[in-house]
Structure 1
Amino acid sequence: MVTTEPDATALMTAAVEGGTFSLRRARKGDLPQILGLLADDQLGAIRESADDPEPYEKAFDAIDADPAHLLVVGELNGDVVATFQLSYLPGLSRKGSWRAQVEAVRVSGKLRGQGVGALMIQWAIGRARERGCSLVQLTTDKSRIAAHRFYERLGFVASHEGMKLTL
């Protein structure tokens, strides 16, 4: 069951096993919890480090200041347990249509498999439709097989081969 919370900060709330799950815009004070979520998997443990918070704080400020980007946290009974970034991208292809890009989706290990990630992605898809986007896109590392199955269950198709160049 998804409802709109009277609290103006909640973007969405839902009853889940264990309590009430809600999405809200991330605040800078959430960074330690967000970084913990980013580091809580096989790839993040290698890539992320809260030893120097300055680059994360700068990135947060840039995301927060740009209306084309939204950093979201998910809370369960008031504790930050999930996060993702939703960005809106204009493009010339597809008849000049807009895309929504979903990035850095993370759910606390203790909640994976309980529907929290699906609630987040479904909410993001709804926002993309409201913004007039014709496509929701995301990338997921080839080694994240469980994530691939998760996105496929939600209707995503592995239609492209992504490439990255680390600078």
Structure 2
Amino acid sequence: MGFVGVLVILRPGIAMIHPAAFAVIGSAIMLATMYVLTKSVIAYDSPWTILFWMNLVQLPISLTFAIPDWTWPSTPLIPWVLLVGVAGFGIHYSISKALVYADASLVVPFDFFRLPLIAVVAWFLYNEALDPFVFIGAMIIVCGNVLNVRGKRTNPNVTGQ
């Protein structure tokens, strides 16, 4: 259902798919990979170690895309840029710490609430129109995750004979 929700948000077929849509799908795949890898490594390493390696891997990838169009932020924007960096670091730490105590299928659905929240912030700060397809797609994604979690809780473990 998650992929169906993404398709509702992107609406392929209504108009030509923008190349940025492929970047969105690619980043969603990488995010899912990050959750799986973090969950598998969290049993052996601390969240701080995971954050160090995550940032070390992301740095060259980010610089590859940032350097060609690099412009330094103006002085009044520097505190905001630092705030975004600290918030992003805090989010990754919180997710890593949550994965210590809970299964990824319970942690990840909370991250999907970011999508409608970002839409509301964009409406409030940038006067962007609220797209109902974003909310419908987000609801489909969240419902798929809820069904997934409920299915895991209601189905007993079945062992082979």
- Same fold, TM-score > 0.5, yes or no: no
TM-score (norm 1): 0.26
| Higher RCO (C-alpha under 8 Å, 6+ residues apart) | 2
Which structure dedicates a bigger proportion of its chain to helix?
2
Q: Quick check: which has more Rg, 1 or 2?
A: 2
Which structure dedicates a bigger proportion of its chain to strand?
1
TM-score (norm 2): 0.27
